[in-house]
Amino acid sequence: LDFWTEPAKTDIPVDVRVPFTSLQSVKAYLEYNSIDYSIMIEDLQEVINKEKEEMESNERTARNSGSFNFGAYYNLDIINSALDLIIADYRSLVSKQQIGNSYEGRPLNVLKFSTGAGRPGIWIDAGIHAREWVTQATALWTAHKNRMWRKTRSVNKGSSCAGVDPNRNWNAGFGGPGADANPCSDAYYGPSAESEVEVKSIANFIRSHGKIKGFISIHSYSQLLLFPYGYKCTNPAHYTELVSLSNSKAPYTRSGNVGCQAVGGKSDHVYAPSDNCCRTFRQQMLASRS
């Protein structure tokens, strides 16, 4: 079973992808235990096939017209071309820096938007989970064999299963609740903290920068605004201030009929995920509030 959201509280729904071969046994288990359920997607493969057709059409349109549809999934070449166009259009404001390479040798590029040097910064990452393409189409090659792939592409010694969940590979709370020691799990935290070159490159860049005062990580699943902690059930310092700030931003996340469904500490609303990126940033990069 592939848990898209994992159990946190008894009154919070859980989304699970169920292989066809396990469908009847899962239904029987739920019904035997009087657990209500509904089927969100009858045939996920059909949805993926349709998505692939749309992606190929989007790529042809992008190449022919030079336009970029922010609601479409593109391969890495087209995304990098779009980044270069932004730099060309706003040379006085935008610059690009390569901070490393992925496990499979693809460049890890950072765009810096700035009107001057020496100012506090905010880091924004997107696409850290490969299957969440709407945040950023990370790498077509990473996901083309398995649309639901979400880990890195590194080789795990002694296992036929590849990859580490980069969101559980950060330093703080490493290997805590919600993380999995099984290399075949989508929640596998890796052999050691920051073992993944993608995570290490980001952490090193932020440490060396010295002036980044905020860390925002964009994901596509669920309509939630979340703040630390993700890996333990205690409130952070300035909890009331974080709640107030999040509530002030929640109304602006609405799009059509879909809006922000909840605001709060991450462990209040989803699984205990060892979501260590923001906690690592707080522990190691912030010397004071400002």
Structure confidence by residue, pLDDT tens digits, 22-78: 999 999 999 999 999 999 999 999 988 988 888 788 777 777 766 666 666 777 788
Query: Are 170 and 276 a contacting pair, CB within 8 Å?
Result: yes
Q: Residues of the chain with pLDDT > 70: what percent?
A: 78
Nearest to 166 by CA among 153, 176, 155: 153
DSSP at 265:
E
Query: Are 171 and 179 a contacting pair, CB within 8 Å?
Result: no
Q: How many residues does the chain have?
A: 290
pLDDT confidence of 1, banded at 50, 70, 90? confident
Give residue 273's pLDDT. Answer: 45
- One of 3.40.630.10, 1.10.240.10, 3.90.226.10, 3.30.70.260 is the CATH number of 74-149+169-289, namely 3.40.630.10
DSSP string, 38-80: --S-S-HHHHHHHHHHHHHHHHHHHHHH----TTS---HHHHH
Q: What is the mean pLDDT of residues 151-172?
A: 90
Using alpha carbons only, what angle is made at residue 171 by residues 166 and 175, rounded to the nearest 5 degrees? 75
